[in-house]
């Protein structure tokens, strides 16, 4: 591992923060914390913590010794001085004499000792940092160190490798007890430059930020070298190489098996994040995957993100996906059963009693395909997949030397159900469409972009399809979704786009088939070619998208929603708009046909009938021409409806969201036109 330290950058940091009245100690603490945070082999997603002992002025201007320590909820990679709250050292040091301290009391004292009462909670490892003498203390869950300690001979390996340079503490649950243990080990190891916490991670310290940081890099590099020297074997592949199916086929099956029906047409759904790199493939396809994957976690902190073990699935066989789906459902049920048993066994020995968390896996292994991270959102699934990949790397390295060994199950349980650990996850109320995947066609245009935003605002993951690749990408970036170039009149391209979405998120739940364009011509004289072109885009493209969506939805087996952008013309034809209106009328009938044929599989359908929306279909130039032809202002033209209000793309988008949320509505048309009786559904 290479040191990223740069004197130039460090000086720039100090200067920048000095302008804000922040001292050099804290500036250097921020700088080297970010260096640690930037290296995924050291820490990930809020893991690890750092501190500095310094002196600051209190409100009365008195010099006050404090510990500035990482605050809960901050990520080292992006930390700022506000993420390192100052805690009075005298208050932390006096706790050293306590025999025992409850978690609640510990948090209470730490909060009470904050200089700024509005600061975030100091790290759960605050006391440990305070009771180690040196000024700068760094703590990471470095992969290489974990791979060394997570073996039966881990302690001996570390002693042989580091000698007296690193103190070694046995595994102990984080919190007050670990702080006491580590302080005793620290005091008994004069001259040590850091400390290994077996099966947990590593601490280094120093009088300067650089010293502590460089020691971290040195010791981790030594562990990396030892792993390379000691590597004897690669994971043995399973005897039968599986004739595999694709990630796009397997994702929806797994996602469907993990969904939970609320019984009223709503589902709790998850999002998947597939990782199919060589390490994940070798891990999932190993002959002994059932042993090493179920042996626990590489560091206890991971339990809140990925549960004690992954779900392991059999190898899927192409052409046998129906029987595979049955095996997946059985495996998910068995996982939940095992989790309940784990909870009950350990809860029986725990005081006070805990409430069981959900029993569903956070990652899954599929031979031939690698791993899937599982989360309530794409973001959560990505975090789970990142931590799963770290697990794969550490376990693989430990197995290359000897055998992976974790802390025992009771310790994992204690960590998973530790109130201070659960507090890290925060309590965010799920949005109505959380976990659902929506595909919006024509998503690069005015109305499509508004629809994409509206669904993302409700918590959905959104795939934006548009003929214009840049437009799709632009909207996708804005909604943190997936942008795909797709000509919806090419049914093969549509099918391929849906495969991509299934690959990315694990499936599709909502289609908003929005792409369309107006075609005109007097019906008795219009060339067939115009009519056919309009039908290609305004009818067949809707059918292709709906068919592709149905294919994914049926693999999931958890219903879905098909929504179509109809038009006033479908209900209330206007002169010269035959080519457009006829195709839209057919699409309206298509929507009803889907309602009739797929209602039994919980697939709902609906259409929005909108009119006079400023958009790519009704351009500024058209608005100017039509309003002047009628002798009214543009505003009066746009608001020429019963309510006298202009209808916007956002109004249309909200109508689609309303249909998506109406669990007991199918075959319905929702009109969004400010009121036009001639175009009313009858
Ligand atoms: Zn830790």
pLDDT value at residue 459: 96
Q: How far is the CA of 304 from the centre of ligand 1 (A)?
A: 13
* Residue 306 · residue 363 · CB < 8 Å: yes
Class of domain 247-425: alpha beta
> Residue 624 and residue 637: Cα distance in Å, rounded?
9
Q: How far is the CA of 220 from the centre of ligand 1 (A)?
A: 15
Q: How far is the CA of 272 from the centre of ligand 1 (A)?
A: 27
pLDDT value at residue 417: 92
Q: How far is the CA of 180 from the centre of ligand 1 (A)?
A: 15
DSSP label of 70:
P
DSSP label of 141:
-
Going from the first residue of the chain to its last (682 residues), give the mean pLDDT of each consecutive group of 10, the final group possibly shorter: 94 90 92 96 91 93 95 92 95 91 89 92 93 95 97 96 96 92 94 96 97 98 95 84 81 96 87 96 95 96 94 89 94 97 95 91 96 96 97 97 95 89 70 96 96 98 98 97 98 97 97 95 97 97 98 96 94 93 97 98 96 87 93 92 94 98 96 91 78
pLDDT value at residue 278: 95
pLDDT value at residue 238: 87
Q: In terms of C-beta density within 10 A (0-12 exposed, 13-18 middle, 19 or more buried), how is residue 524 classed?
A: exposed
Q: In terms of C-beta density within 10 A (0-12 exposed, 13-18 middle, 19 or more buried), how is residue 528 classed?
A: exposed
User: Any catalytic annotation for residue 580?
Assistant: yes
Q: Quick check: helix, strand or coil at residue 345?
A: helix
3-class DSSP string for 604-638 = EEEEEEECCCCCCCCCHHHHHHHHHHHCCCHHHHH
> Residue 664 and residue 559: Cα distance in Å, rounded?
12
State the DSSP H helix or E strand holding residue 137, giving kind and residue range, or none if neither. strand 136-140
Q: How far is the CA of 141 from the centre of ligand 1 (A)?
A: 6
Q: How far is the CA of 524 from the centre of ligand 1 (A)?
A: 77
pLDDT value at residue 422: 72
Is the omega angle on the peptide bond into residue 352 within 30 degrees of 0, that is, cis?
yes
The active-site residue out of 31, 505, 580, 598 is: 580
Domain 7-230 has CATH 3.40.50.10320: no
* Residue 313 · residue 366 · CB < 8 Å: yes
Every domain of the chain and the residues it spans: 7-230, 247-425, 437-611+648-679
Superfamily of domain 437-611+648-679: NAD(P)-binding Rossmann-like Domain (3.40.50.720)
* Residue 553 · residue 560 · CB < 8 Å: yes
DSSP label of 540:
I
Domains 247-425 and 437-611+648-679 share a fold: no
């Amino acid at each position: 591992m290479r040191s990223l330290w740069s004197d130039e950058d460090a000086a720039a940091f100090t200067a920048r923060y000095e302008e804000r009245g922040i001292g050099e100690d804290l500036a250097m603490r921020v700088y080297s914390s970010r260096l640690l945070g930037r290296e995924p082999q050291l820490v990930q997603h809020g893991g690890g913590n750092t501190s500095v002992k310094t002196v600051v002025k209190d409100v009365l201007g008195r010099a006050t010794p404090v510990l500035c320590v990482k605050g809960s909820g901050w990520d080292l990679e992006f930390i700022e001085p506000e993420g390192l709250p100052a805690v009075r050292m005298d208050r932390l040091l006096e706790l050293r004499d306590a025999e025992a301290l409850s978690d609640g009391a510990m948090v209470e004292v730490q909060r009470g000792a904050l200089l700024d009462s509005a600061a975030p909670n100091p790290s759960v490892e605050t006391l440990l940092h305070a009771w180690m003498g040196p000024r700068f203390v760094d703590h990471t869950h470095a992969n290489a160190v974990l791979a060394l300690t997570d073996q039966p001979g881990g302690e001996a390996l570390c002693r042989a490798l580091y000698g007296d340079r690193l103190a070694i503490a046995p595994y102990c649950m984080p919190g007050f007890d670990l702080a006491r243990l580590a302080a005793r080990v620290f005091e008994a190891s004069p001259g040590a430059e850091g400390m290994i916490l077996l099966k947990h991670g590593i601490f280094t310290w120093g009088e300067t930020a650089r010293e502590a940081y460089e020691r971290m890099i040195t010791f981790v590099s030594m562990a990396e070298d030892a792993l390379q020297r000691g590597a004897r074997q690669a994971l043995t592949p399973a005897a039968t190489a599986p004739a595999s199916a694709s990630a796009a086929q397997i994702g929806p099956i797994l996602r469907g098996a993990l969904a939970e029906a609320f019984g009223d047409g709503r589902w709790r759904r998850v999002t998947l994040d597939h990782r199919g790199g060589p390490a994940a493939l070798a891990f999932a396809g190993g002959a002994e995957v059932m042993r090493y994957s179920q042996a626990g976690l590489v560091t206890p902190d991971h339990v809140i993100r990925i549960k004690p073990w992954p779900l392991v699935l059999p190898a899927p066989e192409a052409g046998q996906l129906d029987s595979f789906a049955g095996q997946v459902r059985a495996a998910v049920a068995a996982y939940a059963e095992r989790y309940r048993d784990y909870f009950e066994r350990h809860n029986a020995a725990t005081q006070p009693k805990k409430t069981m968390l959900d029993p569903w896996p956070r990652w899954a292994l599929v031979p031939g395909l690698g791993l899937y991270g599982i989360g309530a959102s794409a973001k959560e699934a990505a975090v789970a997949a990142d931590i799963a990949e770290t697990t794969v790397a550490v376990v693989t390295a430990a197995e290359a030397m000897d055998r992976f060994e974790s802390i025992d199950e009771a310790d994992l349980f204690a960590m998973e159900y530790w109130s201070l650990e659960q507090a890290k996850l925060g309590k965010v109320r799920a949005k109505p469409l959380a976990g659902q995947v929506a595909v919006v066609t024509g998503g690069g245009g005015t109305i499509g972009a508004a629809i994409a935003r509206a669904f993302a605002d409700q918590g959905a993951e959104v795939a934006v399809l548009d003929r214009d690749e840049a437009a799709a990408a632009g909207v996708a970036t804005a909604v943190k979704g997936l942008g795909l170039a797709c000509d919806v009149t090419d049914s093969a391209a549509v099918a391929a786009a849906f495969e991509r979405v299934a690959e990315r998120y694990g499936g599709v739940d909502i289609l908003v088939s929005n792409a369309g364009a107006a075609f005109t011509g007097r019906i008795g004289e219009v060339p067939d070619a115009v009519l056919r072109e309009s039908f290609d885009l305004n009818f067949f493209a809707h059918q292709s998208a709906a068919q592709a969506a149905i294919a994914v939805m049926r693999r999931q087996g958890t219903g879905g929603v098909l929504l179509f952008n109809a038009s006033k013309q479908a209900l209330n034809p206007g002169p010269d708009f035959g080519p457009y209106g006829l195709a839209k009328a057919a699409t309206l009938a298509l929507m009803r046909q889907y309602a009739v044929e797929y209602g039994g599989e919980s697939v709902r359908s609906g259409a929005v009938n909108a009119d006079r929306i400023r958009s790519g279909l009704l351009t500024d130039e058209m608005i100017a021409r039509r309003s002047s032809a009628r002798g009214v202002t543009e505003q009066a033209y746009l608001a020429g409806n019963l309510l006298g209000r202009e209808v916007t793309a956002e109004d249309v988008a909200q109508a689609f969201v309303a249909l998506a949320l109406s669990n007991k509505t199918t075959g319905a048309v929702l009109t969004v036109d400010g009121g036009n009786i001639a175009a009313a559904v009858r």
